[in-house]
Structure 1
Protein backbone atom coordinates (compact mmCIF):
# COMPACT_ATOMS: atom_id res chain seq x y z
CA UNK A 1 0.00 0.00 0.00
CA UNK A 2 3.02 2.27 -0.18
CA UNK A 3 2.35 5.35 -2.25
CA UNK A 4 5.79 6.96 -2.17
CA UNK A 5 6.43 6.71 -5.91
CA UNK A 6 8.51 8.97 -8.10
CA UNK A 7 5.43 9.97 -10.12
CA UNK A 8 3.52 10.91 -6.96
CA UNK A 9 6.52 12.89 -5.72
CA UNK A 10 6.48 14.93 -8.92
CA UNK A 11 2.72 15.52 -8.61
CA UNK A 12 3.08 16.72 -5.01
CA UNK A 13 5.59 19.31 -6.17
CA UNK A 14 2.80 20.85 -8.25
CA UNK A 15 -0.04 20.49 -5.74
CA UNK A 16 0.58 20.06 -2.01
CA UNK A 17 -2.38 17.81 -1.23
CA UNK A 18 -0.85 14.52 -0.04
CA UNK A 19 -4.01 13.05 1.54
CA UNK A 20 -6.08 13.97 -1.51
CA UNK A 21 -3.57 12.37 -3.87
CA UNK A 22 -3.58 9.15 -1.81
CA UNK A 23 -7.41 9.15 -1.83
CA UNK A 24 -7.44 9.59 -5.61
CA UNK A 25 -5.08 6.62 -5.92
CA UNK A 26 -7.26 4.52 -3.60
CA UNK A 27 -10.46 5.42 -5.47
CA UNK A 28 -8.77 4.67 -8.81
CA UNK A 29 -7.61 1.25 -7.56
CA UNK A 30 -11.08 0.42 -6.21
CA UNK A 31 -12.68 1.53 -9.48
CA UNK A 32 -10.37 -0.65 -11.57
CA UNK A 33 -11.18 -3.67 -9.39
CA UNK A 34 -14.93 -3.04 -9.61
CA UNK A 35 -14.82 -2.88 -13.42
CA UNK A 36 -14.07 -6.62 -13.46
CA UNK A 37 -16.00 -7.92 -10.39
CA UNK A 38 -15.82 -11.51 -11.68
CA UNK A 39 -12.27 -11.60 -10.33
CA UNK A 40 -13.39 -10.89 -6.76
CA UNK A 41 -13.97 -13.64 -4.19
CA UNK A 42 -15.20 -13.16 -0.62
CA UNK A 43 -15.52 -16.51 1.13
CA UNK A 44 -17.46 -15.46 4.19
CA UNK A 45 -18.65 -12.35 5.99
CA UNK A 46 -16.61 -13.35 9.03
CA UNK A 47 -13.38 -13.24 7.03
CA UNK A 48 -14.33 -9.93 5.42
CA UNK A 49 -14.93 -8.40 8.86
CA UNK A 50 -11.74 -9.94 10.24
CA UNK A 51 -9.67 -8.19 7.58
CA UNK A 52 -11.68 -4.95 7.37
CA UNK A 53 -11.52 -4.06 11.08
CA UNK A 54 -7.74 -4.37 11.28
CA UNK A 55 -5.45 -3.80 8.29
CA UNK A 56 -7.09 -0.75 6.61
CA UNK A 57 -7.50 1.07 9.92
CA UNK A 58 -3.92 0.38 10.96
CA UNK A 59 -2.78 1.78 7.62
CA UNK A 60 -4.76 4.98 8.22
CA UNK A 61 -3.45 5.20 11.79
CA UNK A 62 0.08 4.86 10.43
CA UNK A 63 -0.50 7.63 7.89
CA UNK A 64 -2.17 9.97 10.40
CA UNK A 65 0.47 9.51 13.10
CA UNK A 66 3.17 10.11 10.49
CA UNK A 67 1.66 13.50 9.67
CA UNK A 68 1.29 14.42 13.35
CA UNK A 69 4.86 13.32 14.04
CA UNK A 70 6.06 15.65 11.28
CA UNK A 71 4.60 18.60 13.20
CA UNK A 72 6.87 17.87 16.16
CA UNK A 73 9.86 16.15 14.54
CA UNK A 74 11.95 16.35 11.41
CA UNK A 75 11.50 14.00 8.48
CA UNK A 76 14.97 12.67 9.23
CA UNK A 77 13.95 11.48 12.69
CA UNK A 78 10.89 9.71 11.27
CA UNK A 79 12.93 7.99 8.55
CA UNK A 80 15.43 6.73 11.13
CA UNK A 81 12.69 5.32 13.37
CA UNK A 82 10.99 3.60 10.43
CA UNK A 83 14.22 1.77 9.76
CA UNK A 84 14.32 0.64 13.39
CA UNK A 85 10.92 -1.00 12.84
CA UNK A 86 12.27 -4.16 11.13
CA UNK A 87 14.41 -4.87 14.21
CA UNK A 88 11.28 -4.63 16.38
CA UNK A 89 9.26 -6.69 13.92
CA UNK A 90 11.91 -9.42 13.82
CA UNK A 91 11.80 -9.72 17.61
CA UNK A 92 8.03 -10.25 17.84
CA UNK A 93 7.03 -11.68 14.46
CA UNK A 94 7.18 -15.30 15.54
CA UNK A 95 4.91 -14.60 18.52
CA UNK A 96 2.21 -12.77 16.55
CA UNK A 97 2.20 -14.74 13.30
CA UNK A 98 3.06 -18.12 14.76
CA UNK A 99 5.85 -18.64 12.24
CA UNK A 100 9.32 -19.92 13.03
CA UNK A 101 11.61 -17.01 12.12
CA UNK A 102 15.29 -17.83 11.69
CA UNK A 103 17.74 -15.03 12.46
CA UNK A 104 21.52 -15.02 12.28
CA UNK A 105 24.28 -12.48 12.82
CA UNK A 106 24.47 -11.56 9.13
CA UNK A 107 20.77 -10.63 9.11
CA UNK A 108 21.10 -8.36 12.15
CA UNK A 109 24.30 -6.76 10.83
CA UNK A 110 22.65 -6.01 7.48
CA UNK A 111 19.74 -4.28 9.25
CA UNK A 112 22.20 -2.24 11.31
CA UNK A 113 24.04 -1.32 8.09
CA UNK A 114 20.78 -0.06 6.60
CA UNK A 115 20.08 1.90 9.78
CA UNK A 116 23.59 3.38 9.72
CA UNK A 117 23.13 4.51 6.12
CA UNK A 118 19.80 6.11 6.98
CA UNK A 119 21.35 7.87 9.97
CA UNK A 120 24.13 9.25 7.76
CA UNK A 121 21.65 10.38 5.11
CA UNK A 122 19.58 12.37 7.61
CA UNK A 123 22.50 13.38 9.88
CA UNK A 124 21.73 17.06 9.32
CA UNK A 125 17.99 16.62 9.75
CA UNK A 126 17.33 14.76 12.98
CA UNK A 127 15.27 16.81 15.42
CA UNK A 128 12.42 15.78 17.66
CA UNK A 129 10.46 16.61 20.81
CA UNK A 130 8.87 14.36 23.46
CA UNK A 131 5.53 14.73 21.66
CA UNK A 132 7.19 13.86 18.38
CA UNK A 133 8.78 10.76 19.90
CA UNK A 134 5.37 9.63 21.18
CA UNK A 135 3.77 10.00 17.74
CA UNK A 136 6.73 8.29 16.04
CA UNK A 137 6.48 5.37 18.47
CA UNK A 138 2.75 5.09 17.74
CA UNK A 139 3.48 5.27 14.02
CA UNK A 140 6.03 2.47 14.24
CA UNK A 141 3.65 0.34 16.33
CA UNK A 142 0.82 0.76 13.82
CA UNK A 143 3.14 -0.02 10.92
CA UNK A 144 4.58 -3.15 12.51
CA UNK A 145 1.15 -4.46 13.53
CA UNK A 146 -0.25 -3.82 10.05
CA UNK A 147 2.47 -5.88 8.40
CA UNK A 148 2.34 -8.68 10.96
CA UNK A 149 -1.44 -9.02 10.77
CA UNK A 150 -1.34 -8.96 6.97
CA UNK A 151 1.25 -11.72 6.98
CA UNK A 152 -0.80 -13.82 9.41
CA UNK A 153 -4.07 -13.44 7.48
CA UNK A 154 -2.47 -14.02 4.08
CA UNK A 155 0.08 -16.77 4.70
CA UNK A 156 -0.28 -18.30 8.17
CA UNK A 157 -4.04 -18.36 8.88
CA UNK A 158 -5.33 -17.21 5.47
CA UNK A 159 -8.72 -15.60 5.13
CA UNK A 160 -10.98 -16.96 2.39
CA UNK A 161 -10.65 -13.86 0.23
CA UNK A 162 -8.65 -13.72 -2.98
CA UNK A 163 -5.90 -11.16 -3.64
CA UNK A 164 -8.09 -8.75 -5.61
CA UNK A 165 -10.71 -8.94 -2.88
CA UNK A 166 -8.11 -7.96 -0.28
CA UNK A 167 -7.00 -5.07 -2.49
CA UNK A 168 -10.59 -3.83 -2.77
CA UNK A 169 -11.16 -4.04 0.99
CA UNK A 170 -7.89 -2.22 1.71
CA UNK A 171 -8.72 0.69 -0.55
CA UNK A 172 -12.48 1.02 0.04
CA UNK A 173 -12.35 0.69 3.84
CA UNK A 174 -9.34 3.02 4.08
CA UNK A 175 -11.28 5.70 2.20
CA UNK A 176 -13.69 5.99 5.16
CA UNK A 177 -11.20 7.30 7.76
CA UNK A 178 -9.24 9.07 5.02
CA UNK A 179 -12.36 11.11 4.20
CA UNK A 180 -12.35 12.42 7.77
CA UNK A 181 -8.61 12.98 7.68
CA UNK A 182 -8.68 15.02 4.47
CA UNK A 183 -11.30 17.31 6.02
CA UNK A 184 -9.39 17.72 9.29
CA UNK A 185 -6.17 18.62 7.47
CA UNK A 186 -7.88 21.42 5.57
CA UNK A 187 -7.25 20.02 2.11
CA UNK A 188 -10.87 20.10 0.93
CA UNK A 189 -10.97 23.90 0.31
CA UNK A 190 -7.81 23.51 -1.77
CA UNK A 191 -9.27 20.94 -4.16
CA UNK A 192 -9.72 23.73 -6.69
CA UNK A 193 -5.96 23.52 -7.24
CA UNK A 194 -6.48 20.17 -8.96
CA UNK A 195 -8.27 21.93 -11.80
CA UNK A 196 -5.12 23.98 -12.42
CA UNK A 197 -2.89 20.99 -12.99
CA UNK A 198 -1.12 21.06 -16.33
CA UNK A 199 -1.61 18.24 -18.81
CA UNK A 200 1.82 16.90 -17.88
CA UNK A 201 0.97 16.93 -14.15
CA UNK A 202 -2.37 15.28 -14.90
CA UNK A 203 -0.60 12.50 -16.77
CA UNK A 204 1.81 12.08 -13.86
CA UNK A 205 -1.14 11.80 -11.46
CA UNK A 206 -2.68 9.15 -13.72
CA UNK A 207 0.67 7.33 -13.86
CA UNK A 208 0.87 7.39 -10.05
CA UNK A 209 -2.65 5.89 -9.88
CA UNK A 210 -1.71 3.08 -12.26
CA UNK A 211 1.44 2.52 -10.25
CA UNK A 212 -0.64 2.43 -7.04
CA UNK A 213 -2.64 -0.47 -8.47
CA UNK A 214 0.59 -2.32 -9.26
CA UNK A 215 2.06 -1.57 -5.82
CA UNK A 216 -1.11 -2.71 -4.05
CA UNK A 217 -1.13 -5.96 -6.03
CA UNK A 218 2.58 -6.57 -5.51
CA UNK A 219 2.31 -5.80 -1.78
CA UNK A 220 -0.52 -8.26 -1.18
CA UNK A 221 1.26 -10.99 -3.14
CA UNK A 222 4.65 -10.34 -1.54
CA UNK A 223 3.22 -10.90 1.94
CA UNK A 224 2.36 -14.45 0.89
CA UNK A 225 6.01 -15.23 0.16
CA UNK A 226 8.14 -13.18 2.54
CA UNK A 227 7.98 -12.46 6.26
CA UNK A 228 6.61 -9.17 7.55
CA UNK A 229 10.12 -8.09 8.56
CA UNK A 230 11.48 -8.70 5.06
CA UNK A 231 8.52 -6.82 3.59
CA UNK A 232 9.24 -3.80 5.80
CA UNK A 233 12.90 -3.86 4.76
CA UNK A 234 11.85 -3.91 1.09
CA UNK A 235 9.41 -1.04 1.65
CA UNK A 236 12.08 1.08 3.34
CA UNK A 237 14.60 0.33 0.59
CA UNK A 238 11.98 1.24 -1.99
CA UNK A 239 11.91 4.70 -0.44
CA UNK A 240 15.66 4.96 -0.88
CA UNK A 241 15.31 4.07 -4.55
CA UNK A 242 12.96 7.07 -4.73
CA UNK A 243 15.55 9.11 -2.79
CA UNK A 244 18.21 8.08 -5.32
CA UNK A 245 15.82 9.18 -8.07
CA UNK A 246 15.42 12.52 -6.31
CA UNK A 247 19.17 13.01 -6.05
CA UNK A 248 19.87 12.02 -9.66
CA UNK A 249 16.84 13.52 -11.44
CA UNK A 250 15.20 16.10 -9.18
CA UNK A 251 18.53 17.47 -7.90
CA UNK A 252 17.49 17.13 -4.28
CA UNK A 253 19.92 16.93 -1.32
CA UNK A 254 23.18 15.63 -2.77
CA UNK A 255 25.78 16.24 -0.06
CA UNK A 256 28.33 13.51 0.48
CA UNK A 257 26.38 12.38 3.54
CA UNK A 258 23.22 11.98 1.45
CA UNK A 259 24.95 10.11 -1.37
CA UNK A 260 27.01 7.82 0.87
CA UNK A 261 24.08 7.25 3.25
CA UNK A 262 21.74 6.32 0.42
CA UNK A 263 24.33 3.98 -1.09
CA UNK A 264 25.06 2.38 2.28
CA UNK A 265 21.37 1.70 2.89
CA UNK A 266 20.96 0.08 -0.51
CA UNK A 267 24.11 -1.97 0.13
CA UNK A 268 22.65 -3.05 3.47
CA UNK A 269 19.50 -4.10 1.63
CA UNK A 270 21.54 -6.29 -0.72
CA UNK A 271 23.34 -7.79 2.29
CA UNK A 272 19.99 -8.50 3.97
CA UNK A 273 18.72 -10.25 0.83
CA UNK A 274 21.89 -12.35 0.72
CA UNK A 275 21.61 -13.26 4.41
CA UNK A 276 17.98 -14.34 4.07
CA UNK A 277 18.82 -16.33 0.94
CA UNK A 278 21.60 -18.15 2.79
CA UNK A 279 19.24 -18.99 5.65
CA UNK A 280 16.60 -20.25 3.22
CA UNK A 281 19.09 -22.51 1.45
CA UNK A 282 20.46 -23.95 4.68
CA UNK A 283 19.66 -27.69 4.78
CA UNK A 284 17.00 -28.74 7.26
CA UNK A 285 18.11 -31.44 9.71
CA UNK A 286 16.60 -34.80 8.79
CA UNK A 287 14.59 -36.33 11.62
CA UNK A 288 13.81 -40.01 11.98
CA UNK A 289 10.19 -41.00 11.69
CA UNK A 290 8.44 -42.37 14.73
CA UNK A 291 8.54 -45.86 13.23
CA UNK A 292 12.30 -45.65 12.65
CA UNK A 293 12.80 -44.39 16.18
CA UNK A 294 10.77 -47.31 17.55
CA UNK A 295 12.87 -49.78 15.52
CA UNK A 296 16.06 -48.28 16.91
CA UNK A 297 14.70 -48.63 20.45
CA UNK A 298 13.84 -52.30 19.79
CA UNK A 299 17.35 -52.98 18.48
CA UNK A 300 18.93 -51.39 21.54
CA UNK A 301 16.67 -53.42 23.82
CA UNK A 302 17.60 -56.71 22.08
CA UNK A 303 21.31 -56.00 22.56
CA UNK A 304 20.97 -55.48 26.30
CA UNK A 305 21.75 -58.51 28.52
CA UNK A 306 18.79 -60.28 30.03
Structure 2
Protein backbone atom coordinates (compact mmCIF):
# COMPACT_ATOMS: atom_id res chain seq x y z
CA UNK A 1 0.00 0.00 0.00
CA UNK A 2 1.28 3.46 -0.91
CA UNK A 3 0.29 6.58 0.99
CA UNK A 4 0.31 9.89 -0.89
CA UNK A 5 1.11 13.08 0.99
CA UNK A 6 1.62 16.79 0.44
CA UNK A 7 3.34 19.27 2.74
CA UNK A 8 4.14 22.97 2.70
CA UNK A 9 7.82 23.83 2.25
CA UNK A 10 9.63 27.10 1.75
CA UNK A 11 8.26 28.57 -1.45
CA UNK A 12 5.76 25.89 -2.36
CA UNK A 13 4.24 22.46 -1.82
CA UNK A 14 6.00 19.09 -1.86
CA UNK A 15 4.44 15.78 -2.90
CA UNK A 16 5.76 12.52 -1.42
CA UNK A 17 4.83 8.85 -1.16
CA UNK A 18 5.44 6.24 1.54
CA UNK A 19 5.37 2.46 1.09
CA UNK A 20 6.69 -0.59 2.91
CA UNK A 21 7.74 -1.41 6.45
CA UNK A 22 11.08 -1.32 8.27
CA UNK A 23 13.92 1.18 8.68
CA UNK A 24 13.27 4.52 6.97
CA UNK A 25 14.89 5.01 3.56
CA UNK A 26 14.46 8.07 1.37
CA UNK A 27 15.10 7.51 -2.36
CA UNK A 28 15.35 10.56 -4.58
CA UNK A 29 16.42 12.00 -7.89
CA UNK A 30 16.39 15.41 -9.48
CA UNK A 31 14.74 16.14 -11.82
CA UNK A 32 13.38 12.56 -11.67
CA UNK A 33 10.38 12.38 -9.40
CA UNK A 34 8.59 9.77 -7.33
CA UNK A 35 7.24 7.80 -10.28
CA UNK A 36 10.74 6.98 -11.56
CA UNK A 37 11.63 5.44 -8.19
CA UNK A 38 8.39 3.51 -7.69
CA UNK A 39 9.73 0.16 -9.03
CA UNK A 40 12.81 0.43 -6.78
CA UNK A 41 10.66 1.40 -3.80
CA UNK A 42 8.35 -1.56 -4.43
CA UNK A 43 11.35 -3.89 -4.54
CA UNK A 44 12.62 -2.52 -1.22
CA UNK A 45 9.29 -2.33 0.58
CA UNK A 46 9.62 -5.72 2.25
CA UNK A 47 12.77 -4.52 4.07
CA UNK A 48 12.32 -0.75 4.41
CA UNK A 49 9.80 2.03 4.76
CA UNK A 50 10.61 3.79 1.50
CA UNK A 51 9.84 7.46 0.86
CA UNK A 52 9.96 8.95 -2.63
CA UNK A 53 9.06 12.48 -3.71
CA UNK A 54 8.76 14.92 -6.58
CA UNK A 55 11.56 17.51 -6.23
CA UNK A 56 10.51 21.13 -5.88
CA UNK A 57 9.01 22.50 -9.08
CA UNK A 58 8.72 19.06 -10.69
CA UNK A 59 5.38 17.37 -11.47
CA UNK A 60 3.15 17.49 -8.36
CA UNK A 61 5.51 19.65 -6.25
CA UNK A 62 4.43 23.14 -7.25
CA UNK A 63 6.32 26.34 -6.46
CA UNK A 64 4.84 29.70 -5.56
CA UNK A 65 7.32 31.28 -7.98
CA UNK A 66 8.08 28.99 -10.96
CA UNK A 67 11.10 31.16 -11.78
CA UNK A 68 12.90 30.12 -8.59
CA UNK A 69 16.07 28.07 -9.12
CA UNK A 70 16.38 24.61 -7.58
CA UNK A 71 19.61 24.10 -5.62
CA UNK A 72 20.90 21.05 -3.73
CA UNK A 73 20.70 23.06 -0.50
CA UNK A 74 17.04 23.98 -1.02
CA UNK A 75 16.21 20.40 -1.95
CA UNK A 76 18.04 19.16 1.15
CA UNK A 77 15.82 21.36 3.32
CA UNK A 78 12.79 19.85 1.58
CA UNK A 79 13.98 16.38 2.59
CA UNK A 80 14.32 17.55 6.20
CA UNK A 81 10.73 18.81 5.97
CA UNK A 82 9.64 15.31 4.91
CA UNK A 83 11.51 13.77 7.85
CA UNK A 84 9.85 16.24 10.21
CA UNK A 85 6.42 15.53 8.74
CA UNK A 86 7.00 11.81 9.33
CA UNK A 87 8.24 12.46 12.86
CA UNK A 88 11.52 10.72 11.99
CA UNK A 89 14.79 11.64 13.67
CA UNK A 90 17.05 9.82 11.21
CA UNK A 91 16.96 7.96 7.90
CA UNK A 92 19.12 6.33 5.28
CA UNK A 93 19.14 8.25 2.00
CA UNK A 94 19.71 7.12 -1.57
CA UNK A 95 20.06 9.72 -4.29
CA UNK A 96 20.83 9.33 -7.97
CA UNK A 97 22.26 12.01 -10.29
CA UNK A 98 20.91 15.39 -9.15
CA UNK A 99 19.32 13.56 -6.24
CA UNK A 100 22.79 12.39 -5.20
CA UNK A 101 23.81 16.04 -4.99
CA UNK A 102 20.77 16.61 -2.77
CA UNK A 103 21.88 13.84 -0.43
CA UNK A 104 25.42 15.24 -0.21
CA UNK A 105 24.03 18.64 0.76
CA UNK A 106 21.64 17.01 3.22
CA UNK A 107 24.37 15.03 4.98
CA UNK A 108 26.66 18.06 5.23
CA UNK A 109 23.94 20.41 6.51
CA UNK A 110 22.07 17.97 8.79
CA UNK A 111 24.59 15.29 9.80
CA UNK A 112 22.57 14.12 12.78
CA UNK A 113 19.59 13.19 10.60
CA UNK A 114 21.47 10.74 8.34
CA UNK A 115 22.66 7.18 8.98
CA UNK A 116 24.00 6.23 5.54
CA UNK A 117 24.08 8.31 2.37
CA UNK A 118 24.34 6.46 -0.94
CA UNK A 119 25.28 8.91 -3.70
CA UNK A 120 24.71 7.20 -7.05
CA UNK A 121 26.49 8.89 -9.97
CA UNK A 122 26.60 12.45 -8.57
CA UNK A 123 27.61 15.06 -11.21
CA UNK A 124 30.27 16.69 -9.02
CA UNK A 125 31.80 18.63 -11.91
CA UNK A 126 33.68 21.03 -9.64
CA UNK A 127 35.93 18.18 -8.50
CA UNK A 128 37.22 17.59 -12.06
CA UNK A 129 40.42 19.23 -13.35
CA UNK A 130 38.53 20.38 -16.46
CA UNK A 131 35.58 21.78 -14.52
CA UNK A 132 35.63 25.07 -16.44
CA UNK A 133 35.12 23.23 -19.74
CA UNK A 134 32.38 21.04 -18.29
CA UNK A 135 30.52 24.10 -16.95
CA UNK A 136 30.78 25.72 -20.37
CA UNK A 137 29.08 22.64 -21.83
CA UNK A 138 26.26 23.00 -19.31
CA UNK A 139 25.81 26.64 -20.29
CA UNK A 140 25.60 25.61 -23.95
CA UNK A 141 22.96 22.97 -23.13
CA UNK A 142 20.83 25.59 -21.39
CA UNK A 143 21.24 27.94 -24.34
CA UNK A 144 20.21 25.13 -26.70
CA UNK A 145 17.02 24.57 -24.75
CA UNK A 146 16.17 28.26 -24.96
CA UNK A 147 16.85 28.47 -28.70
CA UNK A 148 16.04 25.01 -30.09
CA UNK A 149 13.75 23.37 -27.54
CA UNK A 150 13.54 20.35 -25.30
CA UNK A 151 14.51 17.55 -27.71
CA UNK A 152 17.65 19.35 -28.90
CA UNK A 153 18.67 20.09 -25.32
CA UNK A 154 18.27 16.45 -24.31
CA UNK A 155 20.37 15.35 -27.28
CA UNK A 156 23.19 17.70 -26.29
CA UNK A 157 22.88 16.75 -22.62
CA UNK A 158 23.16 13.05 -23.41
CA UNK A 159 26.07 13.60 -25.81
CA UNK A 160 28.12 15.62 -23.32
CA UNK A 161 27.28 13.08 -20.61
CA UNK A 162 28.86 10.30 -22.68
CA UNK A 163 25.84 8.50 -24.10
CA UNK A 164 25.80 7.13 -27.63
CA UNK A 165 23.87 8.96 -30.33
CA UNK A 166 21.07 6.38 -30.49
CA UNK A 167 20.30 6.57 -26.77
CA UNK A 168 17.21 8.58 -25.91
CA UNK A 169 16.35 10.91 -23.07
CA UNK A 170 13.93 10.11 -20.26
CA UNK A 171 10.83 8.15 -21.27
CA UNK A 172 7.81 10.37 -21.93
CA UNK A 173 4.99 10.51 -19.45
CA UNK A 174 1.27 10.54 -20.21
CA UNK A 175 1.40 14.34 -20.32
CA UNK A 176 3.58 16.01 -22.98
CA UNK A 177 2.73 19.36 -21.39
CA UNK A 178 4.11 18.21 -18.03
CA UNK A 179 7.21 16.78 -19.75
CA UNK A 180 7.86 20.19 -21.29
CA UNK A 181 7.38 22.00 -17.99
CA UNK A 182 9.62 19.55 -16.12
CA UNK A 183 12.22 19.86 -18.89
CA UNK A 184 12.07 23.63 -18.61
CA UNK A 185 12.59 23.42 -14.86
CA UNK A 186 15.57 21.12 -15.34
CA UNK A 187 17.38 23.00 -18.07
CA UNK A 188 16.60 26.58 -17.03
CA UNK A 189 16.35 26.43 -13.24
CA UNK A 190 18.18 23.31 -12.03
CA UNK A 191 21.00 21.99 -14.21
CA UNK A 192 23.46 24.83 -13.59
CA UNK A 193 22.77 25.00 -9.86
CA UNK A 194 23.13 21.24 -9.42
CA UNK A 195 26.36 20.79 -11.39
CA UNK A 196 27.98 23.88 -9.85
CA UNK A 197 27.31 22.77 -6.30
CA UNK A 198 30.52 22.21 -4.33
CA UNK A 199 30.11 19.47 -1.71
CA UNK A 200 31.37 20.24 1.79
CA UNK A 201 34.08 17.61 1.74
CA UNK A 202 35.22 18.16 5.32
CA UNK A 203 31.68 17.71 6.62
CA UNK A 204 31.24 14.58 4.53
CA UNK A 205 34.55 13.12 5.75
CA UNK A 206 33.92 13.91 9.42
CA UNK A 207 30.17 13.33 9.75
CA UNK A 208 28.59 10.62 11.92
CA UNK A 209 27.29 8.75 8.86
CA UNK A 210 28.56 6.44 6.15
CA UNK A 211 29.02 7.71 2.62
CA UNK A 212 28.77 5.24 -0.25
CA UNK A 213 29.60 6.39 -3.78
CA UNK A 214 27.84 4.31 -6.43
CA UNK A 215 28.55 3.88 -10.15
CA UNK A 216 26.63 1.80 -12.66
CA UNK A 217 28.40 -1.28 -14.02
CA UNK A 218 27.55 -0.08 -17.53
CA UNK A 219 28.46 3.58 -16.97
CA UNK A 220 32.15 3.27 -17.89
CA UNK A 221 31.79 5.68 -20.81
CA UNK A 222 29.83 8.32 -18.91
CA UNK A 223 31.09 11.55 -17.41
CA UNK A 224 29.80 10.36 -14.04
CA UNK A 225 32.52 7.70 -14.00
CA UNK A 226 35.00 10.55 -13.55
CA UNK A 227 32.89 12.47 -11.03
CA UNK A 228 32.34 9.35 -8.92
CA UNK A 229 36.07 8.61 -8.91
CA UNK A 230 36.87 12.21 -7.95
CA UNK A 231 34.38 12.29 -5.08
CA UNK A 232 35.41 8.89 -3.74
CA UNK A 233 39.06 9.89 -3.88
CA UNK A 234 38.35 13.07 -1.91
CA UNK A 235 36.41 11.15 0.73
CA UNK A 236 38.78 8.19 0.90
CA UNK A 237 36.10 5.60 0.10
CA UNK A 238 35.84 3.04 -2.73
CA UNK A 239 33.37 3.30 -5.59
CA UNK A 240 30.65 0.64 -5.38
CA UNK A 241 29.40 -0.96 -8.59
CA UNK A 242 25.61 -1.03 -8.97
CA UNK A 243 23.64 -2.87 -11.68
CA UNK A 244 23.01 -1.12 -14.98
CA UNK A 245 23.97 2.38 -15.97
CA UNK A 246 22.89 5.84 -14.82
CA UNK A 247 19.29 4.63 -14.64
CA UNK A 248 20.03 1.15 -13.32
CA UNK A 249 17.41 1.46 -10.60
CA UNK A 250 14.79 1.83 -13.36
CA UNK A 251 15.94 -1.01 -15.65
CA UNK A 252 16.82 -3.55 -12.93
CA UNK A 253 14.97 -2.52 -9.77
CA UNK A 254 15.16 -5.97 -8.18
CA UNK A 255 18.92 -6.36 -8.62
CA UNK A 256 19.52 -2.76 -7.62
CA UNK A 257 17.32 -3.10 -4.54
CA UNK A 258 19.10 -6.28 -3.43
CA UNK A 259 22.51 -4.61 -3.40
CA UNK A 260 21.25 -1.33 -1.93
CA UNK A 261 19.36 -3.13 0.81
CA UNK A 262 22.35 -5.31 1.70
CA UNK A 263 24.59 -2.23 1.94
CA UNK A 264 22.16 -0.46 4.26
CA UNK A 265 21.34 -3.46 6.44
CA UNK A 266 24.87 -4.83 6.91
CA UNK A 267 27.84 -2.53 7.40
CA UNK A 268 30.42 -5.20 6.58
CA UNK A 269 28.63 -6.76 3.59
CA UNK A 270 30.85 -7.72 0.66
CA UNK A 271 30.05 -5.21 -2.05
CA UNK A 272 31.26 -5.13 -5.67
CA UNK A 273 33.82 -2.40 -6.27
CA UNK A 274 33.93 -0.52 -9.55
CA UNK A 275 37.06 -0.01 -11.61
CA UNK A 276 37.51 3.74 -11.97
With the length of structure 1 as denominator, give the TM-score of the two structures.
0.24
Q: Which protein is richer in helix relative to its size? A: 1
Q: Which protein is richer in strand relative to its size? A: 2
With the length of structure 2 as denominator, give the TM-score of the two structures.
0.26
